[in-house]
Structure 1
């Protein structure tokens, strides 16, 4: 990922910025200039909307990822001011004597003590130094973005933490901070010189299942990629960063502070679903896929008993489509009658039981009041990994929804 601004922070999901750029340009020919991304992530769609001079709203429920996107979207800030303030923070941190603190077990398992002390010096300086909000956000972003490159253990971007694995390339925190500052500084200058007439986007820390702050009927183009129903825990994927900043102290905090706001796409989200599953399965919004969903639900419920982990995939699948049904109804309110939507999605096969995600999502969209849908396959999935759990052929593609 080498595109300016976009490269500041790598996000695990979604699509290429180049494709988004071309899609926005093409849809502008049809008069579509109001874009919504209900799963905004680190802001790819919003950035490209700004560069194209069209209006956009992004919704991101994950509080940590929302802050990442918010910082990136401030790329039009004065570059020299940013560099000056960031390097001033670094200078203070280099000379700071770290007050003895109690480090969490996770942090201790990811860094040697010398690295922890340098990262802590950056954090303590950031906490104590008085700076404008924009500068505070930028410096928080810089520190956050180097947490994985400065760890010698398995902490590749958006990988679950693997303390028993090691990396060959590890950076000193102070050097990594300075390098990141200059990368951002140069990107800001070049991008500002290139794009003079921009339209500022708006990022909202809201739930896509219940969008509140976008005006009714506002959007005419939706570009997004929702979480896939493949048991990836987006909350746990940010545990290192949130632990470092003190946003969470343990596993339960992830559930209370992060997971409750996210689409239920992994079994950790549904561990306490209990009797409410009956309410989900009888939800009128799911009526259009209910017979098929119930069949898969029962098969997965029986299949889990044959596996050691006994993962609640049956609950996850039911909750996932319930949540996406809510997303479509929420989008119907904030989009126009001639709206066009593109959802980049992948199908799923927990325990080897196939779930036709794109087909069911298309049906849910029509049930929510949209006109029609088609699916454009992009690639096959589940063909490269040697340790894959099943051999069911899967695919990924673009779900186009009109009207």
Structure 2
């Protein structure tokens, strides 16, 4: 049974609030919205793994669906955020409903050997019949964040002030527009990969090229920091990831044919690695491109390597078995536990640019880089520093023992044709 059946998505929530607000104005009846944010839910994923986290979400959603007011309209706005719309309900009734939701969600829930009591923060807003329908959602969202800032596990009632800025539904509208443009780009050839070279420090030889997605729709580009979060929220990241892997593999095969064999690094998202069909995707890429798997490097964040769910473990094993080299991306932004390095199947570690940007003046960052580099080198790992922009950064990274560099100092990300020219010059 799918516990999220019966929950509206963001787009449907907006349509429903429009309809119910019109009905409330016509009938002169109250309408309340509860915006529910699970408190510290990231700790559940970190402690038990994302598969267990998904199960917890499904069980909590089932409780909401089966025990909420029969007239309530339920929606799921984000990964750990829900909305409850209460037609014909005045503020006192909505406050009672919020108290009941707190009790419903905090009832003990067994996760492994732990009895989890999931707290939540609730923002409550009453529709002002003179405001835009979506404003009541936005005020409830803001109130929920107020409840979180106050310590969580409580309900905050929104005031009558209008909300400006990019919170809640304002942001949701932007994301919906980006989602639509992403679909158009997928269907109409608006996606492209640019490739940024990674060079070995010792001799300047080419270590790899990282594939970075670019998106152009309706004659205008969308920045990665805009479309990647939307793709992750909507599940489009799986299609984008598969397209990236296949496109990069075909380029790698082409470069072999012209005598420029080059390893291409592609980023793998959490959604891809937690998908049961990831193994089939890997073998499908090899079959369609006829490229040796050793030329396609999979970059994953630290947290993905630490995920203990069975699906992730199996998918990592499948990648290693198939011959794909693995790299730890953005090291230093997640678990950053050096003790784990000896057990990971990755043979490359990429230092996050946050360590590099303050060099050479930031001696603390230098000390951290040197420590990580020495340990990783002893484990036989290649160490790449990302975000290198100056000669001074290059020199001090060489002093720290870093193996390879990536950044604007060496090259900007290049379209495929420009990469071929760069490779011809470099070789």
Q: How does the TM-score come out when normalised to structure 2?
A: 0.30
Q: TM-score w.r.t. structure 1 length?
A: 0.32
| Structure possessing the higher radius of gyration over alpha carbons | 2
